[in-house]
Amino acid sequence: MAKLFAVTIFVIAIVSAIPILRHTWWMAEDISTHGAPIDEQMSETMAEAGISFLASQFILGYFIWKFSNPKPGDKIKTFPGGAKAMVWAAFLLVGTEVLALGVFGVKAWANVYFTPPAANAVPVEVQAGQFAFYFRYPGPDGSFGPIHPDMISEANQNFYGLDTDHDADSKDDVVTAEMAVPVNREIHLIMHSKDVGHSFFVPELRVQQDFVPGMDLSVHFTATKIGRYEIVCTQLCGLGHYNMKAYLSVLSPEDFDAWMKKEKAMQ
Amino acid sequence: MHDTAHAHAGQHAAPTSFIRKHVFSLDHKVIGKQYYGLALAAVLIGMFLSWLMRLHLGWTNLAIPGLHLLTKNGAPGDVMTPEFYLQLMTMHATIMVFFVLTTAPFAAFGNYFLPIQVGAEDMPFPHFNMMSFWVTFVAFLVLMSSFFVSDGPTLGGWTQYAPLSAVGQVGGPGEGAGVVLWALSIAIFCVGQLLGSLNFITTTLDMRTRGMSLWRLPLSAWGWFITSVMGLTAFAVLMPACILLILDHVAGTSFFVPANTVMNDQMQPHSGGSTLLWQHLFWFFGHPEVYIAIVPGMGIVSHVLVTNMRKPMLSHRVLVYAMGALAVLSYMVYGHHMFVSGMNPVSSLVFSFPTLVITIPSTIVVLIWMGSLYGAKLRINSASLFALGFISMFIAGGVSGFFLAQPSIDIMLHATYFVVGHFHLVMGVAAMFGIFAGTYFWFPKMYGRMMNETLGKIHFWCSFVGAYAIFMPFHYLGLAGNVRRYQAFAPEYMQPLIPLHKFITIAALFTGAAQLVFVYNLFVSRYKGEPASDNPWQATSLEWSTPTTPPPHNNFGDTLPVVYHDPFQYGVESSTGDYVMQTSPEKASAHDES
Amino acid sequence: MATTVHEPPKIEGQRDPSQSHGGFNSGGQDLVPGNLPAVKRYSPPPASTGIWVVLASITMTFAAFTSALIVRQGSALDWRHLTLPNILYVNTLVLFASSFALEMTRRRIRVVAGGLKADSVDASRWLYAALTLGLLFVVGQYIAWAQLRAQGLYLATNPNSSFFYVLTAVHALHVLGGLGGLLRVIRKMGNSTLRKSTLDATAYYWHFMDGLWVYLLVLLWMKL
Amino acid sequence: MKNLQKLAAVLMAVMVVLCGALLLTHEVSAATEGKISGTVKYEGTPPHMRGIDMSKDPYCAKANASTSPHMENVAVGSGGGLENVVLYISEGLSGPALSQPATNVPVFDQKNCEYTPHVLAMDVGQTFKVTTSDQTAHNIHPNPNPMTGNIPWNQSQPPGAPPVEKSWKAPEMIEVKCNIHPWMHGWFAVVKGPYATTDANGNYTISNVPPGNYTVTAWQETLGTQTAKVTVAGGAPAKADFTFKGK
């Protein structure tokens, strides 16, 4: 029984590791400028965690194999080094591992959060609500019109509560249901929620940020690869959570201008 | 007039009527069994809900015959609606986290065995103890009653993030009466657990018998003691949060709902609430809660292992210190649940470091277990198999913590199935394995009969392989960006993952069915099992030296035991064999630490 | 119940005969065999430990409320000033007086217990005074709420009033719990044994309510 | 015992006769009931109806790939006829026409991620059905004013689910939305008594109106209401035309 158990542990450990090693199911390809350190951090963590996982499962299995079903004359033995060795091992192995991960992790994190968006970043606003994202581009004047929450009406396709009759800034704002960004341009995404908590997650972009009602948050990123990606909500927001999504089109500058023209016509 | 009677603080006469004996009993052993029964009922309900969810995730438009009987509007034509899926998910999580993982390893086994292991006649406040169970029971009823209100139970997830949980019915089905009942249930539950913690702490500190120094407590008792200290602080914070949440609903206050909330095209009558406030209060409770679920398991597993290894742990004290360190650190790390919540990015890093550091005591615990296995004379039985399985699961679930502790990687993994896999392995499956190990180990003492070993082993093999088959793929799903709490996989990039979901569903149905073997074993052994001796495992701690099995009403008969040893006198040569019981005055070994 | 297998009763000799009736602070003979370096001669009565556990958990609860108040204050610009009803200061004095009365009770009882005095009439007078003053405090709190309501400040009017009602109500609930404790002491004095630990625990709890109230008052005065 | 049976038989006979009489009177009154008909027109340039971007849900986007969906808040037909105007009798109605809800079951279908019809008129207490023809889940979330006595509800309809059957307690114009597809927007126009909705050309006919003098109200979701006085007699339908002026 013990040997079977040991073998089972070996097999499970190895089988578990195969899809990871083969990248059968793996992160989507990175299309951002800031994603490389995150991916690197992921690989390093995967290597360290994987080794820890395999090593400890193997040792566990081996010990179970070796030390069960003792013969009558067997004596118990104490692990050479005792508890002290274990505590040292934990502090040295895991401690340094953790420290290393932590320190390198700071770099990847800082890359995303501690640099302000460039001055020439393209501003885009995103509003989350049950259960769709809507995006707003400031138009030629470069400034977003004020939002009047009491005027928000999905029924009238006035998702942002814009008063285009009175607010000059709002007149040229373009509100869209799909997000398009020019490739290789930094985007400054300004986020707010009109109702409950939501989240903005684009796996390819290596961006995930919650919408916190009552707070304006922002992220910035640069997409480097033309294509159509999906934006999904990762914060439970109600019955339609699973279908709260939008498409992100990364377009060439010409296509982006054409797209903008088309959207403007739809206003 | 005073000062003489307190030695009998926990003592009360044996009850005679059926009601005082089995229903409103003051006896900690009966209360422990009641908690176990509650947890058993809850876990079966929770598992059933997870089956329904898994079926729906594998085959979204599958009509599950009879599903409409469970809900008024949630299953037209027996097909699950999105809201009903979320309601089942929320209830599954709430039932499992609160009414199974908190009650079974901590309240059930702790109630039964902590007083015996410290050598007391009962807990010091038996009336509070009785209230603790019945209050918890009422909390469970309140929670279940939300299935019967018009819109059904809440769909907000066990974390109940505001403002979704606070805006009321306009937020979706179950967000009206459902949430209020949920919050009420949890607030009541907190009261029950606070009463329980009070008893556990005072039992450990004050009710120890002669010779029972703190260091002579078995590791299971340490697990419960540490857990009760955590419970005392954690539940005392969750309760106010629930009170504020209820007030936002029924009194129209604005603690959690900010101004300018527009739902379904209507402005909500709230102003200025803080949504992050709920997250802070909840996770200040929520992270320690994870350890409340797992630390008793660690204690039980250590206790079971030390008995079945026939040798002491490498260090009893280091294990205790490590569990204590986990408890202390668990309060400093809660922010890692909020890396992408719009907290100041600096605070993310501040929370990241203790989270990474918490792996050190966890690793120490695992290494001590493994180092102790070296040179053991390991007995393989259902209890020890589950204890060893616990270690394997704890490692598997623990290593994924490396990822989630880092804010930069958390960007990719937050709110994906990776997290779901992580916490199911480390606090769900591992804690359940702890419960199983405890059950197979202590059942003979609780009922005077042995559990069936063959069935126990079948149960173990199915559970061990099954749990890996279910929860390992969760990690792959998470890496591929599969978001959790989705009732169907609408985004196109998740479509290729559906076959994996089908595999998980089949594994879950199989593993769940294997648990029925356990339930069968439990009931059959209860009445038809082989009679157990007083000390069937040749163990040393006090629960094995009671005069009868099950122990008499006052645990030790006329005289309280005197303790002469620490509880890990194994692998020695003595008149009884290779162990010396704590109550035996025989001096047999050199490795007495205390 | 399942049939249980009974082992023959243990041999008395293995046990210390003086340990009958579980008095772990009774008996004082030396236990020779085994390793017994740390025999505890004295364990405190559970109520005196238990009360600190209770107070710790109440402290945590109010710490949570406090942090909620501070976070909520900073989260939006809808924080308004609120003048505390003056009766709160009177209530404070009432609560202190109640504590004082309970302290007097304890002293009297100590005298009685010391055998210096035969009856405890004096003590129960003080105890009733403490109880009445405690009730008076709750009534006073109720008057304070009524005064706020008269000003048009209800629970949901603004965050300040919300916190005022929540904090004072939760405190009042705890005070009511304390009154229950006092009643229990009165009952025990009347017809059964009153343990010192019970009296002490009730007194600590009661004094803690004072401290908690002063803390709340300062908090409300500063923040509202 | 025998007597009892006799009594039962007599009672049954009386019941049958009564029912028959009731049916007959109903038939008779229906024969004499009149109609109100007319046309609702829109004058001026129709307001701009924004296009709807359904890209969020690929199913919806695909279903509407050939057409370009747009808002239906003001739907003006080719001849200036105004569609989706609800006409009902706001004054002058009494008796069963007012108190008995209509027995037919109007259907509100969710098709291609839009509501068909955009406005569903119904009688107070009349049962109506919400169906779905789509292969994506919708949620139906009407927003009545709770002060009227109508109770809000919100429930999902996955693909292939059976119809949801409901009714409303009080007259009210109730906005209905799907939160999963926020552009989906329609109305339940709950009125008392006979009603009609204009077709694409703005034509309508209210039938089953007993003879009498009435005020007819035309309600349009964004343009508001207009009233007209009509007299209904047997025979030719009474006429009432309305014109809504644009800004």
Three-state secondary structure call for residue B491: coil
User: Do A27 and A150 have their domain in common?
Assistant: no
For chain B, which chains pass the contact test of at least 3 CB pairs under 8 Å? A, C, D
Mean pLDDT on D208-220: 91
Residues 56-75 of B with CB under 8 A from D: 61, 73
More confident call, C182 vs D19: C182
For residue D4, pLDDT beyond 70: no
Q: Is C46 helix (H, G, I), strand (E, B) or coil?
A: helix
Query: Is the reported ipTM for this assembly greater than 0.85?
Result: yes
Nearest residue in D to A244, CA atom: D180
The pair of structure tokens assigned to A85 is 């060795």
In a domain, A61, yes or no: yes
Q: What pairs with residue D209 in β-bridges? A: D34
Query: Contact A53/B395, CB-based, under 8 Å?
Result: yes
Contact yes or no for A238 and D182 at CB 8 A: no
Judged by average pLDDT, the poorest of B100-109, B228-237, C113-122, D106-115 is C113-122
Domains and CATH numbers, chain B: 28-257+268-579 (1.20.210.10)
Mean pLDDT of D170-197: 94
pTM, to two decimals: 0.92
Contact C68 B9 (CB under 8 A): no
Domain that includes residue D137, residue range: 31-245
Q: How far apart are CA B264 and CA A188, in angstroms?
A: 28
- In this predicted structure, the answer to whether residue A162 has a pLDDT above a threshold of 80 is yes
D110: closest CA of chain B, how far (Å): 16
- What percent of chain B has pLDDT above 70? 97
Average pLDDT score over residue span B232-254: 94
Instruction: Name the domain count of chain D.
Output: 1
pLDDT over 90, % of chain A:
71
Q: Indicate whether A140 and A235 sit together in one domain.
A: yes
Token pair 């029971």 in the structure block, residue: B137
pLDDT-derived band at C53 (thresholds 50, 70, 90) equals very high
Band of pLDDT at residue D14, cut at 50, 70 and 90: low
Among B56, B61, B78, pick the best mutation site for testing chain D contact (most D Cβ within 10 A): B61
Is residue D118 in a domain? yes
Q: Which residues are within 8 A (CB) of C153 and not within 5 positions of it... i.e. 6 or more apart?
A: C82, C161, C164
Which run of H or of E encompasses B307? helix B275-309
Look at residue C37 and tell me whether its pLDDT is greater than 80. no
pLDDT for residue D101? 82
CATH of the domain at D105: 2.60.40.420
The pLDDT mean for chain C works out to 79
At residue D3 the predicted structure's pLDDT band, cuts being 50, 70 and 90, is low
Q: Are B6 and C47 in contact (CB under 8 A)?
A: yes
Would you list the domain boundaries of chain C?
46-223
Q: Are A183 and A224 in contact (CB under 8 A)?
A: yes
Q: What is the pLDDT of residues A122-146, one digit of tens each?
A: 999 999 999 999 999 998 988 999 9
CATH topology of domain C46-223: Four Helix Bundle (Hemerythrin (Met), subunit A) (1.20.120)
What CA–CA distance (Å, rounded) separates B474 from B479? 9
Q: Is residue A75 assigned to a domain?
A: no
pLDDT tier at B349 (50, 70, 90 boundaries)?
confident
Going from the C-alpha of A91 to that of each of A87, A88, A99, A101, B408, the distances in angstroms are 6, 5, 10, 14, 23
> What pLDDT is stored for residue C31 in this prediction?
39
Considering only A155-169, B329-343, B363-377, B415-429, which range has the smallest mean pLDDT? B329-343
pLDDT, tens only, B264-312: 888 998 888 899 999 999 999 999 999 999 999 999 999 999 999 999 9
Cα B440 to Cα C152: distance, rounded to the nearest angstrom? 62
The mean of the pLDDT values for chain A is 91
Token pair, residue D69, equals 């969906």
- A69-122 per-position pLDDT tens digit: 777 777 888 888 888 988 998 888 888 887 888 888 887 787 777 888 899 999
**Contact check, Cβ <8 Å, A156/D73:** yes
- Are residues A107 and A159 part of one domain? no
Over residues B498-553, the pLDDT tens digits come to 999 999 999 999 999 999 999 999 999 999 999 999 999 999 999 999 999 999 99
Contact yes or no for B380 and A2 at CB 8 A: yes
On whether residue A202 sits in a domain, the answer given is yes
Together in a domain, A129 and A56: no
Inspect the interface and report whether the beta carbons of B267 and A149 lie closer than 8 Å. yes
Domain count, chain A: 2
Write out the residue range of the structural domain in which residue A260 sits.
122-266
Of the residues A113, A130, A165, the one at which a domain ends: A113
Mind giving me the DSSP string for B172-226?
A: STTTTHHHHHHHHHHHHHHHHHHHHHHHHHHHHHH---TT--GGGS-HHHHHHHH
pLDDT value at C22 more than 60: no
Pair A130, A11 in one domain: no
Residue C174: the pLDDT is 96
**Do A86 and A191 have their domain in common?**
no
Q: Which of A131, A133, A177 sits opposite D180 (nearest CB)?
A: A131
| B81–D137 C-beta distance less than 8 A | yes
Lowest mean pLDDT among A25-29, B3-7, D196-200: B3-7
Work out the pLDDT band at B588, boundaries 50, 70, 90.
low
Is residue D12 situated within a structural domain? no
- Residue B151 CA to residue B177 CA, distance in Å, equals 8
- Tracing tokens 């997870």 back to the chain, one arrives at B50
Q: What is the mean pLDDT of chain D?
A: 86
Stretch 161-190 of chain B: residues touching chain D, C-beta under 8 Å: 169-170, 172-173
Q: With respect to residue A194, please indicate whether it lies within any of the assigned structural domains.
A: yes
Cα-based distances in Å from C70 to A240, B541, C220: 34, 49, 11
pLDDT at B154: 95
Contacts of C166 in chain B (CB under 8 A): 243-244, 247
Residues 162-181 of A with CB under 8 A from D: 176-178
